[in-house]
Chains A and B, each alone.
Chain A
Amino acid sequence: MVELRGIKHRYASRVVLDLDQFSVPRTGALAVVGHNGSGKSTLLRLLALLETPTEGQVLFDGQPVPRRAPPALRRRVTLVEQRPVLFRGTVRENLEYGLRLRDLSTNAAAGMIGHVVEQLGLQPLLERRRHELSDGEVQRVAVARALALRPDVLLLDEPASSADRAAAGALYRALAAERAARPFAVCIASHQLEDAYRWGDDIRALAEGRLSPVTPENLFRVELPPGDGVKRIRVGDADFFVMTDRSGPAVVAVPPTDIFVSKEPLPSSARNVLAGRITGMAIEHRGAGVHVRADVGGIELVAAVTAEASKDLGLGPGVKVVFSFKATAVQVF
């Protein structure tokens, strides 16, 4: 639906986003995960047609988007920012804002507002003004304001970051109900993998403005010593062995699928053998795999195993485990 091709986006002279290809499918739910500063928000602003990439092209329905996207095109994509703002006026006036721009009849607009108000439990807030709302309430109103417009593509930047558990649940339920009633594309940026696994049909990870092969948990900023070959680097309180000819500041990534999980150290070719305890388990979206999160030497690593292997090993929170991976498995970029 919205596609980015050959994107290099700069602020001043710094490249903040460097993507060969990125697309949000027509009715898919895409989750983008990454640390703060990884480029998620910039990515969403480009997808929302609010910014023009310094280099590269944005396509909508396969057609190139002009430098200043016309309002008619922008109305098909709506972004809810990480810390959304409300305009002056009441919550009701905020919900009406976008609908008024679409020349809807008063009855139709009232119907659309009533629908999202009910879904997100906003009735008690309708006549309040922004300074009378908490951050979580502002976020809910902002999501409702976007949902009421029924966009073809909805972009949500950390939509539940200020919401409590119940409010976040309501928000995601409303989103699921809306998608069940009317399929549309959703792209959620989050630094929380749980959100991504729960809502994404597909997950992409961003690191330093680039698509990363691994999730943010297994990404580390390091200083690589000069030279070529296997290098020993300090990551938190742990030592990693990395095979690379790079030196200086870099990001190293350990793909979760390249980590062996065992209860005891095993004789193998793996140069990295880290003992620790499981801090969390997450069933992967499709249900076939398990992501095992463990504290190993003061850092958190996530390993991907099958549900069967997890059962056989008796993995669970608090269980002692050993994570092993080869020096050649560590990716450097």
Chain B
Amino acid sequence: MDFLAEGFRRAWDLLVTGDSEVYGIALLTLRVAVVATFIACAIGLPLGYFLATRRFWGRRAALTVVNTALAFPTVVVGLLLYGLLSRRGPLGAIGWLYTWQAIVVGDVLLALPIAAALSAASIQGVDPRIRRTAETLGAGSWRVAWTVAREARFALAAVITAAFGQVVAEIGAAMIVGGNIRGSTRTLTTAVALFTSQGDFGMALALGFVLLAMALLVNVALQVLQGRGSG
């Protein structure tokens, strides 16, 4: 147990003294997570709305695919993306392998099914009369969608949190396509894995605390927004 106590002390020192490496990794993680969550939700929420509200041939199959993708292993996504982005891969020319952009792409692929599947379920939970009422009052497609989304705002906020949680906590894709390069593609999760394997528990714990604090802050922000938006 001593190593744990020592680890906590070290973590505290690193956080209080503003260790540049810890905060550098945290900032990169935050940047990757925000960009990936934004892109995944920008595509996934409209897709979820579409799947929930439109009746078309193959809709059930599409929902099954999206729901199945929820369980897609992160390392497999990383591996497939590696194949695409490696020098000999079809997208090798863009030179994104071992860059933070590659991690964003991997994270988007992982968060997209969450955003789409959970938002579809959230929208399906909205009283269908809301949509009909918006339509009969003269709303066009976008305004109808906005009205329905406002009714499902709590559930949709939870969808965004879940997508952010997936992105910030995943390690497989970040490790494979990011490469865990110091100062360049090292994220909180890959760094925790690295420092733990090196026996530097203090550093690993410090980064773990930052990761938890990030998740906590997002949830608190969500709850504040929910409080303001009630009624």
Task: List A residues at the B interface (Cβ < 8 Å).
Answer: 45, 48, 50, 71, 74-75, 77-79, 81, 83-85, 87-89, 97-98, 101-102, 129, 131, 142, 145-146, 149
Contacts and interface: CB of A to CB of B under 8 A. Distances in A.
27 contacts: A48-B136, A50-B132, A50-B135, A50-B136, A71-B138, A71-B139, A74-B138, A75-B138, A77-B136, A78-B136, A79-B136, A81-B129, A84-B129, A84-B133, A87-B133, A87-B134, A87-B151, A88-B151, A89-B231, A97-B134, A98-B138, A101-B137, A129-B231, A131-B231, A142-B133, A149-B137, A149-B138
A87 B144 CA distance: 11
Contacts of B182: none
Interface string B122-138: 00000101101111111
Q: Secondary structure of the B side of the interface? A: helix
A88 B130 CA distance: 10
Interface string B106-130: 0000000000000000000001011
B43 to A, nearest CB: 24
B133 A74 contact: no
Interface residues of B, number: 17
A85 B130 contact: yes
B202 to A, nearest CB: 48
Nearest to B147: A87
Given A50-B136, A78-B137, A88-B151, 19 more contacts: A45-B132, A50-B132, A75-B138, A78-B138, A79-B132, A79-B136, A81-B133, A84-B129, A85-B130, A87-B133, A87-B134, A87-B147, A87-B150, A87-B151, A98-B138, A101-B138, A101-B140, A142-B133, A149-B137
Contacts of B135: 50, 74
B143 interface: yes
B137 A85 contact: no
A109 to B, nearest CB: 13
Contacts of A45: 132
A17 to B, nearest CB: 17
Interface of B: 127, 129-130, 132-140, 143, 147, 150-151, 231
Contact of B137 (A83, A88, A98): A98
Contacts of A149: 137-138
A145 to B, nearest CB: 7
A149 B138 CA distance: 9
Contacts of A145: 137
Report the 9 A-B pairs with minimum CB-CB distance, sorted nearest first.
A98-B137, A75-B138, A71-B140, A79-B136, A85-B129, A101-B138, A129-B231, A98-B138, A48-B136
Contacts of A83: 129
Contacts of A84: 129, 133
Contacts of A102: 138
B140 A87 contact: no
A50 B150 CA distance: 21
Nearest to B140: A71
A87 B151 CA distance: 8
A149 B137 CA distance: 8
Contacts of B134: 87, 97
Contacts of A146: 136-137
Contacts of B127: 85
A79 B136 CA distance: 6
A101 B129 contact: no
A142 B133 CA distance: 9
Task: Give the one of A45, A88, A102, A129 with max B CB within 10 A.
Answer: A88
B138 A81 contact: no
Contacts of A81: 129, 132-133
